[in-house]
Chains A and B, each alone.
Chain A
Amino acid sequence: MKVLVMNAGSSSLKYQLYDMRDETVLASGRVERIGMDSSIVTHEVPGHPEVRDVSEILDHVTAVKRVADMIVHPSHGVLKDIKEIDAVGHRVVHGGEVFKESVLVTQEVKLEIRKLFDLAPLHNPAHMMGITAVEANLPDVPQAVVFDTAFHQTMPQTAYLYPIPTVLYRRHKIRRYGFHGTSHHYVSDQAAEVLGKPLASIKMISCHIGNGASITAIQGGKSVDTSMGLTPLEGLMMGTRSGDLDPAIVPFTMNKEELTLSEVNSMLNKHSGLLAISGISSDMREIVQAMDEGDRNAQLAFDMYTYRMRKYIGAYAAAMNGVDAIVFTAGVGENSERLRAAVCKGLTFLGVELDTFLNSEHSKSARIISTADSKVQVLVVPTNEELLIARDTYKLVKEQSNK
């Protein structure tokens, strides 16, 4: 069974082709600059050099067609016939309150995704274009959608409601949704496997620390709280996003600086976080380097970043009345031993004891980095959202064909 995983953006499209018999990646790639006369398709087959092709790709339908052409290409293709693809799985950012798990695409599902355009105006319309483009190119292939928000739908009302007039929740569905759900879900499964314990018995805090960052409290395999909210702006300090702040700062600043709504939005999303405090970069590697060279602002940015992470871990340990495992994942979480060390240093009261040697080891596999005596296990688990999308898609399509 071959599953194509797709992540469609407004002017880009990323894909992976999986052979689900052994979960290997047969090919992967991306289409960039869709809508231009010089769009770039980059296609890679493991063990072979990357292939690049520049041509005019004006819409997603053509983009998917080019991807299909690459996959069956006589020299760098991996399939003889595009009909060998059994299913396509899409990443969709916002599933609202309707989608609590991955589903097969139907007319009703498409309608619901459309209804959610309001909540994810930058993402959901692009995902929809991806879905219709696959329909146009591969009309008989079943498609599934996997939502970034679905994993967090298990949160109780106490966690997902905001203490503001409830009419806003009823009218506009203003509540906490949380994001990176696919990643938190995937790493929690992996972590339980590494720990050799049933997920149901573990209180876990997973830290997805990349360009965007979120922390999730996972009890018995279910998300019970997460740091991102209605939008991905809430929670941790991030590369260019502010994360939590006093909401009164927004009208106060708008008034003082005569800012419009879109200006203040852009300020909080693109001009804040590590970039704002360090004045150097939004990239943690560059922050650490500058810090080592004695840059005080970089040091401050790093300290604020890790301090805010620690506060969330403390809060979620309290929310679950304890914690058995802390998991680090995504770009920064997987690669920055400095960040992990700084966060864990102040968590000894919880019984966290980091093994400095294990923490400094570089590896691509899921592993424990706390000492044997540590009361709380600390893990690094590389995330793989695409694989989870492929697995969900495979499962859904198989279930349907068994019916």
Chain B
Amino acid sequence: MTVRKVGVVGIGTMGQGIAEMLAYKGLEVLVIEESSEKMAHAIEMIEHSLDKQIEKWALTQAEKKLVLNRIHTADKLSDMAQCELVIETITEDLNNKIKVFEEIDQYCSPDVILASNTSTLSLTELASATKYPERVIGLHFIHPVSKIDLVEIVRGLKTSEDTFNRTKHFVEEIIQKKGIMVFESPGFVTSRLICLHINEALHVLEEGVATADDIDRAMRVGYSFQYGPFEMADRFGLDSVLAALEIMFREYGELKYRPSIVLKKMVRAGHLGVKTGVGFFKYDKDGDRL
């Protein structure tokens, strides 16, 4: 089976990136969001992202139009029945995700793959809400989706071999990214390692060992990271980092996952990073560092 139309449920930061990347690769994309305001905002953000790429000569005006023309909006979940693959990318809340899976499971025929972009939640638990748990799989993309060519393909306990193989084919042949197979485990590989890296950097900062700027520079220049841990956290969104750490702390019960106090404080203050213009550093509307 070849995939031509992909559903994207929930179009926040990750959903936007996924929808834009899929459309750029030539696939038809059907997106859905809970309110029409959020949807309009998301489409605007995708346009903005494409404009930024034109500025960088990565795209032409004609290509931008083609990409946008491939993104269609749906107003009810039952429209997802047209798709060969549905990717859920709503906020990391287990109960809400379970609701979504329960619903789309009813509308989509059993050979449609249902994927979640969750980075920390249990696929097995999501799958258990459906009648066909063997077609549920994890597709964990990394932000910014159009630039990072890695996807974690996550197998839940009941994910079938066929579902895995078809998903792997989709990742490697159709959207041409590198897929790594991971078995369900909180944080998989990427989130687990990178969140610990950020959390440890926060401890270093709290202890007054070095400034945020210098810690970032040390990792960037010293170890070829594109961004240091603080700018990275700003770009992910501090709330997302906190949520991931909290889930891992709960699941593993190990102290090393306990979120730093500074992180909690900043999230409470609404300093969420790039999306609010201020986190550890300040950013303009385009997300460029000031």
Asked whether A157 is an interface residue with its Cβ less than 8 Å from the other chain, the reply is no
Residues of A within 8 A of B4 (CB): 35, 58
A308 to nearest B CB, angstroms? 21
Contact A259 B60 (CB under 8 A): no
Contact A260 B57 (CB under 8 A): no
| Contact with B58, one of A35, A58, A266 (Cβ below 8 angstroms) | A266
Asked whether A400 is an interface residue with its Cβ less than 8 Å from the other chain, the reply is no
- Chain A minimum-CB-distance residue to B54: A271
CA distance A11 to B27 in the complex (A): 13
Contact B59 A260 (CB under 8 A): no
Contact A263 B60 (CB under 8 A): no
| Contact with B56, one of A11, A58, A257, A270 (Cβ below 8 angstroms) | A257
Asked whether B147 is an interface residue with its Cβ less than 8 Å from the other chain, the reply is yes
Binary interface encoding of chain A residues 252-263 relative to chain B, with 1 for a CB under 8 A from any of its CBs, else 0: 000001011011
- Chain A minimum-CB-distance residue to B2: A58
Residues of A within 8 A of B26 (CB): 11, 35
B59 to nearest A CB, angstroms? 7
Asked whether A267 is an interface residue with its Cβ less than 8 Å from the other chain, the reply is yes
Contact B57 A270 (CB under 8 A): yes
Contact A267 B57 (CB under 8 A): yes
| Contact with A266, one of B2, B59, B147 (Cβ below 8 angstroms) | B59
B173 to nearest A CB, angstroms? 12
A83 to nearest B CB, angstroms? 31
Residues of B within 8 A of A264 (CB): 57
CA distance A191 to B58 in the complex (A): 41
Contact B147 A260 (CB under 8 A): yes
Contact B147 A271 (CB under 8 A): no
- Chain A minimum-CB-distance residue to B5: A37
| Contact with B57, one of A11, A35, A58, A266 (Cβ below 8 angstroms) | A266
- Chain A minimum-CB-distance residue to B60: A270
- In B19-61, the 8 Å CB interface with A consists of 26, 53, 56-60
Most chain B Cβ neighbours within 10 Å, of A58, A264, A266: A266
B4 to nearest A CB, angstroms? 7
CA distance A190 to B58 in the complex (A): 41
- Chain B minimum-CB-distance residue to A257: B56
CA distance A262 to B59 in the complex (A): 10
CA distance A270 to B147 in the complex (A): 19
- In A29-43, the 8 Å CB interface with B consists of 35
Binary interface encoding of chain B residues 226-264 relative to chain A, with 1 for a CB under 8 A from any of its CBs, else 0: 000000000000000000000000000000000000000
Binary interface encoding of chain B residues 65-103 relative to chain A, with 1 for a CB under 8 A from any of its CBs, else 0: 000000000000000000000000000000000000000
Contact residue range for chain B? 10 to 19
- Chain A minimum-CB-distance residue to B57: A267
Residues of A within 8 A of B58 (CB): 260, 262-263, 266-267
CA distance A266 to B146 in the complex (A): 15
Contact B147 A259 (CB under 8 A): no
CA distance A259 to B2 in the complex (A): 33
- Chain B minimum-CB-distance residue to A282: B60
B17 to nearest A CB, angstroms? 16
Most chain A Cβ neighbours within 10 Å, of B57, B58, B59, B60: B57
B230 to nearest A CB, angstroms? 19
Residues of A within 8 A of B59 (CB): 266
- Chain B minimum-CB-distance residue to A270: B60
Most chain A Cβ neighbours within 10 Å, of B2, B4, B26, B56: B56
- In A353-388, the 8 Å CB interface with B consists of none
Residues of A within 8 A of B56 (CB): 257, 259, 263
Residues of A within 8 A of B2 (CB): 58
CA distance A263 to B26 in the complex (A): 18
Residues of A within 8 A of B147 (CB): 260
CA distance A260 to B144 in the complex (A): 14
- Chain B minimum-CB-distance residue to A263: B58
B24 to nearest A CB, angstroms? 11
Residues of B within 8 A of A270 (CB): 57, 60
Binary interface encoding of chain B residues 1-12 relative to chain A, with 1 for a CB under 8 A from any of its CBs, else 0: 010100000000
| Contact with B60, one of A35, A257, A260, A271 (Cβ below 8 angstroms) | A271
CA distance A391 to B59 in the complex (A): 39
B66 to nearest A CB, angstroms? 11
A314 to nearest B CB, angstroms? 31
Residues of B within 8 A of A266 (CB): 57-60
A104 to nearest B CB, angstroms? 30
CA distance A259 to B56 in the complex (A): 7
- In A268-289, the 8 Å CB interface with B consists of 270-271
Residues of B within 8 A of A257 (CB): 56
Residues of B within 8 A of A262 (CB): 58
CA distance A58 to B58 in the complex (A): 28
CA distance A264 to B57 in the complex (A): 7
A249 to nearest B CB, angstroms? 13
Residues of A within 8 A of B60 (CB): 266, 270-271
Residues of B within 8 A of A260 (CB): 58, 147
CA distance A77 to B58 in the complex (A): 44
CA distance A263 to B4 in the complex (A): 26
Binary interface encoding of chain A residues 317-342 relative to chain B, with 1 for a CB under 8 A from any of its CBs, else 0: 00000000000000000000000000
- Chain B minimum-CB-distance residue to A271: B57
CA distance A4 to B59 in the complex (A): 36
B22 to nearest A CB, angstroms? 14
- Chain B minimum-CB-distance residue to A10: B26
CA distance A257 to B53 in the complex (A): 12
CA distance A267 to B26 in the complex (A): 21
Residues of A within 8 A of B57 (CB): 259, 263-264, 266-267, 270-271
A42 to nearest B CB, angstroms? 20
CA distance A235 to B57 in the complex (A): 21
B158 to nearest A CB, angstroms? 31
Binary interface encoding of chain A residues 76-111 relative to chain B, with 1 for a CB under 8 A from any of its CBs, else 0: 000000000000000000000000000000000000
Sample of 9 further A-B pairs with CB below 8 A, known A257-B56, A260-B147, A267-B58 = A58-B2, A259-B57, A260-B58, A263-B56, A263-B58, A264-B57, A266-B59, A266-B60, A267-B57
> What are 12 A-B pairs with beta-carbon distances under 8 A?
A259-B56, A260-B58, A260-B147, A262-B58, A263-B53, A263-B57, A266-B58, A266-B59, A266-B60, A267-B58, A271-B57, A271-B60
In the complex, the 8 A-B pairs of residues with the closest C-beta atoms, listed nearest first: A267-B57, A263-B58, A271-B57, A263-B56, A266-B58, A270-B60, A266-B57, A263-B57
